[in-house]
Structure 1
Amino acid sequence: MNTIEQLHALFPAESAVPADCQILAPLHQRTLLVNGQLKMWHGETRAVLSPVYTRQDNGELARVELGSIPVTGKEEADEALAAAVAAYDNGRGAWPTMSVAERIGCVEEFTRQILAKRREIVNLIMWEIGKSLPDSEKEFDRTIVYIKDTIDALKKLDNDNSRFQIVDGTIGQIRRSPLGITLCLGPYNYPMNETFTTLIPALIMGNVVLLKPPKFGTLLYYPMLEAFRSAFPAGVINTVYGKGSELVPYLMNSGKINVLALIGSSRVADQLKKAHPKSNRLRAVLGLDAKNAAIILPDADLDLAVKECIAGSLSFNGQRCTAIKMILVHQSIAEAFLRRFSEAVNALKVGMPWEKGVMVTPLPDQEKCRYLTECVEDAKAQGARVINEGGGSVAETLFHPAVVFPVKEGMKLYREEQFGPVIPVAPFEDIEDALDYVISSDYGQQVSLFGSNPHQIAELVDPLVNQVCRVNINCQCQRGPDVFPFAGRKDSAEGTLSVHDALRAFSIRSMVAAKETEASKKLLDAIVLSNESNFINTRFIL
């Protein structure tokens, strides 16, 4: 049996799916959250198909239908935007003027409600995007931890600002204020976690939100709609469905969006920013493309390098912006590294997302297999070869990981972000060649260095930190822990995300000031004692 036949055989019969992982019935969403109401939708819908195929009685494979979602248009987008505008009310709305403690209470109530939906949401993540069950559970749980850490960080931030400063005869109190209406667009690879890393800080800082779920990973938001509706005031969060290529530029062109929160491509981000009629009024918080490289030096621990590069390049099929998408290995150890690496790749378990120990699972975007095949064939036509047996074989949505060597300038895999289970490897003789690769890249998110000579590592770190925002020493590229800054240079990001930084990204410092006179002191003291202002106060949140 060849690799393609083996891949085909991995798709199960419906009866082989474990009972606790089954989709008992398709989930047909017919509601939109607008202005605090779950409105029924009677228009066009789109079927949601899983990347998982199941074997029918006749032996044929068919994609599992998970349900359907609304396909709304500009009229519904206008309605959602109008609800957000009304809820913000030029900063006078209930949400932006609410106390920090009260906003925290709303987020805590929302969190409590979605925790009760954990199993349903996790199952939808797994089926919608093909993420393994443990990784789907980890995505949900990590999101909950992120929310709690954000609450703790905001308490500290607000408590630090709950005092007056007196400088050169001026009394001032400085706090952070919301920016306005946020359009939140998350990615399909982490449809809950990465979306919430912008959504939650935007909300908790007093902004109102238009949420457009990802193309893949849309249905999993359906179980959360009631929690959004009941935990937050009307209009604070509104959902937008439909064709993103039409609706998102349309919303941006209105000029009413104050913050664009996007985890996606730099090309899309550029187009959307240009669509806004007053770009100086737009705050952009962007997590974009990356082509993170691993540089393996001659004295690297090969066992460690192989282990970390496997995890870095193939966790969730390499569909992570932080994935290692190019391996640069010194010529003197290239043969030994490739042998071990290829053996490790082919030892990975390929299968369905609920199977224990599975590493390679079906890809949610059917076009991705075609694109990855194009990249591999392009490299082969220019002299590269697939090192591992069966690499690049395709069966429906299963793509067997391919280790491609030697990759060079001019091949698609050398510069393009493949975002999938293809691992390009290039040799280098002079370390300057490896540095030049990072320097000449359009992207500047992260790099991994593997070596044991402290002098050489030190010499490489200093120039690399001026090209990328994170240098990983003897470990894979990654985002976490979430308290660490997550950023990028060049075309990889705009703004910094972390629990700490995100609160600042979605707010601005505002100040109340008065002359240091007895009259001013009495006035401010009276305001504080009256508890009538949520800005001028000295309350401490426990």
Structure 2
Amino acid sequence: MGQMKTVNPATEELIDTYELMSLEDAKAVVDRCHKAFGEWRKVSLEDRAKVIKAIGAKLREKKGELADLMSREMGKVRAQGDGEIDLCAGICDFTAENGPSELAGEERPLESGSRGLVQYAPIGVVYGIQPWNFPCYQVVRYAIANLMAGNGVLLKHAESCTGSGLALEKLFREAGLPEHLFSVLLIDHDTSDEIIAYEKVRGVTLTGSPGAGSHVAEKAGAALKKTVLELGSNDAYIVLEDADLDRAVKQCVTGRIYNNGETCVAAKRFIVVDAVYDKFRDAFVEAMGALKAGDPFDDDSDLGPMVTGKQRDQLHEQVEKSVANGARILCGGEKPSGKGYYYPATVLENVEPGQPAYDDELFGPVASLIRAKDADDAFRIANDSRFGLGGGVFSADAEKAIALAKEDFDTGMVFINGFGLAAPNIPFGGVKDSGYGREHGGFGMKEFVNIKGIQVMAE
């Protein structure tokens, strides 16, 4: 059937190999998950919450092991792995504490004087297709919400972090989740398309590129199955004239290079008003140029390697195309030789439409600097994108920034005076080519449920 393999991006050494499942074997996994769902759906919300809480505790217990594995499989700076697992455990805690009330349903009076009931009923098996950049978080984000809702959950993880997916499957079971209710599928893309169409799969959620999202949505739509898509972006961080520039520079650097720059909701385009552009640029370039790329297990490494040589080559090609079309490199921009898929922190200036640095997502530690005339021009540039996941605003007047975020930013999320990723109690998701649907904040628990209306006509 073929094999999958995981490779350490810092050393280019093989970590492990895994046998691909046949379509028949994959469907058998779905069948077992569906059978487990049949029992889980009858478990009370309170008892489901206890299992979710136990998963969070087990994540904290295994934090070091999981963080080490993530660094080996995708090159994440080791200390950031601890933070990822802390976030995963926090998601479990929030879901366990709020799930029973979020999913309890409600009663609504009818005009006739009879009773109306609203129930959030689980729908069945939800199939998740997830990327490599946050090997644990991407899985926990959709899996925990759907398990709380009473669904069964399948995972097709990225090949490069197969070990992380299997480790989570084992951990969930050790925490008390019924066997087969959360199952990993080791399958290729063709088999994945068949699983989407399989009758015992009721919903599909994907985190990935817009191309992957379009493909999966088409396959699921043909089978009349709901999807949730969290796709890429080229998030704009706007620096206004009254911003605290020291804070803005520090937060923008962090926002660009966190997780080796391989984050869908990373800060990517830095749109600075003319009045403070030169001062911001000089400080930003100095800070980016001082960053050190190295072994993710070394405490003094600011950047680990990119996940694969292919990803690095693609990023470098985007830089070269941008330069060929008028962009200027202020620091970085050279692909190093030697072992490991490293790429330096890079800043591009003179970024304009028609360049990948302006139009596309640069999934790595490359920042695009754009000069705006004023605040109105800055928001025009920020929204001049086919993407709309997140973004940021820096201003000394937080209330003004909030108003601008509410009215003028065409994105699913906005961060004021700082860089942020995700919070368990705040919705996560985007608009336009960044996808649709929401996770976190209770919203994800209701994406794949049957919102059932019951009218009691007489008692």
State the TM-score, normalized to the length of structure 1: 0.78
- What's the counterpart of residue 376 of structure 1? 319
**One-letter code aligned to 1:416:** D
- What's the counterpart of residue 79 of structure 1? 28
**One-letter code aligned to 1:216:** S
- Do the aligned partners of 2:57 and 2:89 also contact (CA within 8 Å) in 1? no
Q: How much does 1:265 deviate?
A: 1.7
- What's the counterpart of residue 283 of structure 1? 226
Q: For residues 384 and 115 of structure 1, do their structure 2 counterparts lie closer, same or farther at Cα, with a shift above 3 Å needed?
A: closer
- Do the aligned partners of 2:398 and 2:416 also contact (CA within 8 Å) in 1? no
Map residues 175-214 of structure 1 onto 2, 5 A cutoff: 175-214=119-158
Q: How much does 1:387 deviate?
A: 0.8
**One-letter code aligned to 1:448:** G
Q: For residues 438 and 355 of structure 1, do their structure 2 counterparts lie closer, same or farther at Cα, with a shift above 3 Å needed?
A: same
Q: d(CA) in 2 for partners of 1:226 and 1:439? A: 43
Q: d(CA) in 1 for partners of 2:232 and 2:287? A: 27
Q: For residues 226 and 464 of structure 1, do their structure 2 counterparts lie closer, same or farther at Cα, with a shift above 3 Å needed?
A: same
- State yes or no: 1:48 paired with 2:48: no
**One-letter code aligned to 1:507:** V
Q: How much does 1:341 deviate?
A: 0.7
- State yes or no: 1:152 paired with 2:101: no
Q: How much does 1:234 deviate?
A: 4.3
Q: d(CA) in 1 for partners of 2:156 and 2:397? A: 48
- Do the aligned partners of 2:329 and 2:347 also contact (CA within 8 Å) in 1? yes
Q: d(CA) in 1 for partners of 2:16 and 2:434? A: 34
- What's the counterpart of residue 425 of structure 2? 483
Q: d(CA) in 2 for partners of 1:304 and 1:108? A: 36
- What's the counterpart of residue 427 of structure 1? 371
- Do the aligned partners of 2:149 and 2:445 also contact (CA within 8 Å) in 1? yes
- State yes or no: 1:412 paired with 2:356: yes
* Aligned mate of 2:215, from 271, 283, 289: 271
Count residues with an aligned counterpart: 455
* Aligned mate of 2:79, from 134, 140, 145: 134
- Do the aligned partners of 1:176 and 1:510 also contact (CA within 8 Å) in 2? yes
Map residues 45-124 of structure 1 onto 2, 5 A cutoff: 45-53=3-11, 63-88=12-37, 93-124=38-69
- What's the counterpart of residue 28 of structure 1? none
Give the percent of matched residue pairs that are identical in Structure 1 and Structure 2. 24
Q: d(CA) in 2 for partners of 1:233 and 1:148? A: 19
Q: How much does 1:398 deviate?
A: 0.9
- Do the aligned partners of 1:316 and 1:359 also contact (CA within 8 Å) in 2? no
Q: How much does 1:367 deviate?
A: 1.0
- State yes or no: 1:330 paired with 2:279: no
Q: How much does 1:479 deviate?
A: 2.9
* Aligned mate of 2:185, from 210, 234, 240: 240
Q: How much does 1:260 deviate?
A: 0.9
Q: d(CA) in 2 for partners of 1:116 and 1:337? A: 42
Q: How much does 1:196 deviate?
A: 0.7
**One-letter code aligned to 1:315:** Y
Give the secondary-structure state (helix, strand or coil) at the position aligned to 1:199. helix
Q: How much does 1:140 deviate?
A: 1.3
**One-letter code aligned to 1:424:** S
Give the secondary-structure state (helix, strand or coil) at the position aligned to 1:298. coil
Unpaired stretches in structure 2, ≥5 consecutive residues: none
Q: How much does 1:191 deviate?
A: 1.2
- Do the aligned partners of 2:145 and 2:445 also contact (CA within 8 Å) in 1? yes
Q: d(CA) in 2 for partners of 1:461 and 1:277? A: 33
Q: d(CA) in 1 for partners of 2:53 and 2:237? A: 40
Q: How much does 1:416 deviate?
A: 0.7
- What's the counterpart of residue 450 of structure 2? 508
- What's the counterpart of residue 533 of structure 1? none
* Aligned mate of 2:388, from 444, 449, 454: 444
Give the secondary-structure state (helix, strand or coil) at the position aligned to 1:134. helix
* Aligned mate of 2:415, from 472, 494, 499: 472
Q: d(CA) in 2 for partners of 1:224 and 1:298? A: 46
Q: How much does 1:228 deviate?
A: 4.0
- Do the aligned partners of 2:205 and 2:227 also contact (CA within 8 Å) in 1? yes
**One-letter code aligned to 1:483:** N
Q: d(CA) in 1 for partners of 2:399 and 2:445? A: 38
Unpaired stretches in structure 1, ≥5 consecutive residues: 1-42, 54-62, 521-542
